[in-house]
Amino acid sequence: MITSDLIRSLAEDAKPVRRLRPPLLRAFGWLCVSGVILGALTMWHGVRPEFLDRMREVAYMVAMMSAMATGILAAVAAFMVGLPDRSPRWALLPLPSLIVWLGNLGYQCLAGWEPLPPGAVTAGAAASCLTTLIFTSLPLSLLLVGMLRHMVWFRPTGVIVLGSIAVSALTSASLAMFHPLDATAMIIGWNLGTVLIVFAVMGLASRIMRRRRVQD
């Protein structure tokens, strides 16, 4: 196709579009809706009884706070990085709190490792954990995908990774309020694991397509 023809057809297709609101405002909007969803879920499940006692523990509080901060900062970064005129360095914004969050988690795993009595974590309990987790993070993810859909054209990888970190962190913080077991590892595994699967499928598909094109 000749470039002038392309320009003509693009101009014919120039329907009015609604400009995106500033990225900070959009991130704030997503965080508010996510807060409402997570709040409602927490109410519905009921805050775990020992929540206030546990908030006095430093490790627990650090985990809660750093997860919240990571969620908020990663959401802001995702909305920034998806815009062509913002620096890709915005992707580093959630890094400090992410390190604290994961570091704290790792430290707890090492220092507070107590072999659970056999039968404490059954397949049934793990499955119910996973269901809660899916129902908590799915609405957040879908909303984020809807808001960031134009990013497919621009830095999709960065936006998807940051978005999943945001959803994981917020889900983890809210699950800590109502879920009796600390399921952070499972949450991260679920959210980032899905991302990895998506990337693997995409990579495989593009490789197959490429091979087919070479054969043609």
Partner 1 sequence: MARAPNGNLRLVASGEGGGARAARSPDVDWSILMAHGQSGDAAAYRRLLEDLTPWLRLYVRRWFRDDRDVEDCVQEILLTIHAIRRTYDPARPFGPWLVGIARRRVADRLRKTLRTHGHETDLGEDDDHAATEDENRHSLDRDKLMGAIEALPPAQRTAIRMLKLEEKSLKETSGETGLSIANLKVATHRALKALKDMLSDRSEMK
| Site residues, partner 1 (CB under 8 A) | 1, 3-4, 6-8, 10-20, 22, 82-86, 150, 153-155, 210, 214
> Is 17 or 110 the residue whose CB approaches partner 1 more closely?
17
> Is 150 or 185 the residue whose CB approaches partner 1 more closely?
150
- Classify burial at 81, counting beta carbons within 10 Å of its beta carbon; exposed 0-12, middle 13-18, buried 19 or more: buried
> Is 8 or 53 the residue whose CB approaches partner 1 more closely?
8
Least distance in angstroms from the C-beta of 57 to partner 1: 44
Helix (H, G, I), strand (E, B) or coil at 15: coil
Each as own residue / partner, the long-range contacts of residues 22-25 (CB below 8 Å, 24 or more positions apart, any chain) are 23/76, 23/79, 23/80, 23/82, 23/83, 23/86, 24/76, 24/79
Least distance in angstroms from the C-beta of 95 to partner 1: 22
Nearest to 172 by CA among 28, 96, 69: 69
Least distance in angstroms from the C-beta of 82 to partner 1: 8
> Is 20 or 40 the residue whose CB approaches partner 1 more closely?
20
CB neighbours of residue 185 within 10 Å: 13
Least distance in angstroms from the C-beta of 32 to partner 1: 21
